[in-house]
Amino acid sequence: MLTLREVKHILREYDLRPSKRLGQNFLIDANIQKKMIKALDLTPEDNVLEIGPGLGALTDDLCATAKKVTAVEKDYRLWEFLSKKNERHDLELIRGDILKYDFNRDEKLKAVGNLPYYISSLILIMLLKNRHRIGSIYITVQREFAERIVAGPGSKVYGSISCFTQFYAEPKILFPIKKNAFYPAPKVDSCFLSVTPRDKGLYLTDEEKLFKIIRNCFEKRRKTILSSLRSSGLFGSKEEVIVALDKSGILPERRPETVSLKEFVDLNNILDIVQG
């Protein structure tokens, strides 16, 4: 675990500067670090994928319990620092982009990381698309993003990423993290989020078409659901859409943020029937 003093010393000694481009904010709060490690509930049988280890605030503690830790760091400077610092047989350091990681090389993983805010969504989607290789996900994300992930219909932040995550996993905000827990401090607070992948999607449906419908609706969330679906031209004539909405029990004048995931699934299944 690293304190602010230790982080500043490392940065000076190795002539490192946090990269704004890569969204680097290093964890310096020992209490938060301990809460994260406790939440992971690691066992000696666990294989851990650490996303963006940075200066290694969690890495040693992960290695202390887990069977193996694979840490993927995009920044060459930090990867080089970690390589010099760590010569452990249970730690594999990979310099690379987590979005290009080959999940077929591993046994079932626990994924953990402090995600750069600007690509949190892309990383979470990538992890869920590889859920057959992942048992659990624990990530530090911007508070607003975490709230979007767990939001339900009727919330102003409920959207397509809420539906996607909840279809393939069970997300839960474990605890908040104040911005001064990091150096340099970001402009906003964060949350530690657990995401437990499901073995299968929540409902039996044409998943590709379902998320095409959902994305289309939330791209035009100020419009009614009828207007959003009809204007896309992807889901049949206006009459067909009206029939499908009626059979789904969804009033045409409702807005997308009021429609539950189950209602979207029902609509998707009925649209297939109506369009023949």
Domain 4-197 -> CATH class: alpha beta
For 45-104, the pLDDT digits (tens) are 999 999 999 999 999 999 999 999 999 999 999 999 998 887 777 899 999 999 999 998
Q: What is the pLDDT of residue 275?
A: 56
Beta carbons of 153 and 137 less than 8 angstroms apart: no
Half-sphere exposure of 92 (CA within 13 A, CB side): 11
* pLDDT at 272 exceeding the cut of 70: no
pLDDT at 16 over 90: no
CB 69 within 8 A of CB 90: yes
**Residue 112: CA count within 13 A, CB half-sphere:** 27
Provide CB contacts within 8 A for 136, sequence distance 6+. Answer: 110, 111, 194, 195, 196, 197
Which residue in 36, 81, 32, 35 sits closest to 55, CA to CA?
A: 81
Residue span(s) of the chain under CATH 3.40.50.150 come to 4-197
| pLDDT tens digits, one per residue of 174-194 | 999 999 999 999 999 999 999
- Mean pLDDT computed over every residue of the chain: 92
**Long-range pairs, 184-187, Cβ under 8 A, ≥24:** 184/18, 184/25, 185/25, 186/25, 186/117, 186/142
CATH topology of domain 207-275: Helicase, Ruva Protein; domain 3 (1.10.8)
Angle at 221 between CA 219 and CA 227, to 5 degrees: 95
Domain with CATH 1.10.8.100 in the chain: 207-275
Express each pLDDT in 190-238 by its tens digit.
Answer: 999 999 999 999 999 999 999 999 999 999 778 999 998 888 777 888 8
Residue 139, number of CB atoms within 10 A of its CB: 24
Helices (H), 188-234: 207-219, 225-232
For tokens 């996993």, the residue is 169
